[in-house]
Structure 1
């Protein structure tokens, strides 16, 4: 009789051991999710997701995965988003990934020297983003960001930003805005003494001009020094990038003498001081350059044609550099002679290269 009573106990124990062994196998054996993606939509239940995984043969069945989530207390902690699980992952590791929210992230790259229009176009073309700003004006976008009345140009830091499925374009823009604000604040706090800026925004404006004038890191400080010297002396900046920005959609890759003479709020040939807003998104190096300019007596610079520049302290030196590098040795009298300027790079289809 005692043997008969023990038999059900042994059966239950054996069944328990088999069940535990199966669960351990189900939780710890390597899975093969392949190269596909798996999306947990907002509001999706754990059971529904487990059922999807079993339907795609990632899990042999869904019940053990649901049990694992309940036993670990994570049955309500799934984070929505798009996931990619590597081959060899276990159910335990898979659960940890979706609880931690390690979703697929996509990059969106904002390049130094881009305008707000280029920035916005890149955001609009980013796949997987939820677009909420399409068709809005820059002013309306700034209002959405909580900064009504601020000009959008130059306010966003050029960098690589990452987002996941379902996140919005407004989130990317808010991150870029905050990073520019913090970077400018940090640079302003350590600025050199006696700079001709009333506030950080003026430094941002000049940094955008420096960003457009050169791509060479070793020249940013000197070019900033030239513009700082001109501001101190009350000389006009005479910078091509500001003229181009003021031309807007009319710019066709060529700056003509009439463009230099056509007055706009951004034409630093016709107007003294800084333009009203930045003309592009400056990077950290350009911000540093204008707030820590190189000590120089130069007032002019001209492109050598290889990306580098010749810097001059006098107009006579500058004119000689223009003849050598821009006019290829031709006498200046052979071309019209507009007012001397700080400097510029040669541009496509530019008939008169003596504008320096």
Structure 2
């Protein structure tokens, strides 16, 4: 999640646990700092942009690391604040909860979080909440702002922070339930269209849990389906696009490509951009402007030559008309997304792959 959300979540958790001992203001400030610590891994240098992408939210987000760190950080807090000197175990618990709730919230997004590293090093990501969701953040922000102006605990504040934490937690549960509902709806829509995806997942659309994007992977094609909780009975439009397996056949033994396949869990596509093969993670962003797009190889005679990976940023975050389209779909109105109704947007140069033969432009 975004840094503000992680700060206010940590602040709220710390205030619940330590607020009566330290006072709401100090507890909120301590928790806000603790709630941002796991994201300091952004300062760890990696070899290339692909490694930076796939290894973020690594060991600093592990619950095992948090359990080891809690006594160390907690002991520092006990020595720093007189009000905590008789509450060592409670302080350690507060530190662990501030760190672990950060990681658990991150795991509710689709990016992936290594919660169980090193026992289980695979990233876990649910995708039931977008990385920025005001409905989750604002109640926590409100109570934390209140805490920052309160020196002493009160019954009114106690009720307020309980309501904020219960609401935000319930909202996460709501997202998981809606995600399951949307995946069931999508299976019916795909079945009616004669599509049998090999893989499928529903992801919360930007800033809300009403509109959802469902991705279905079927052989060399990926299908995008946008569903709203407010939809009527009108048939939903399916947008189908090539994944270009002809291009990825040229990427055998390409280390950067293998990392992207692993991290994306198979939700990826390839395209030719100015004689370079660009691989996109289909889970983050919207066709054709995916957030994480990497050039990993370039045309070289009868095949593809690996290059030092680089981020490909030629597409804008949103296409023309996306704002109006998103509002319409969120409200349940049927609308065509112009950016995906255009054919041939990922066409590339013709090249020959030594494995699969000629590669023709898509579209």
Instruction: Classify the TM-score, shorter chain.
Output: under 0.3
Larger Rg: 1
Q: Please, what TM-score do these two structures have when normalized by structure 2?
A: 0.26
**Comparing both structures, which one devotes a greater share of its residues to strand?**
2
TM-score, scaled to structure 1: 0.27
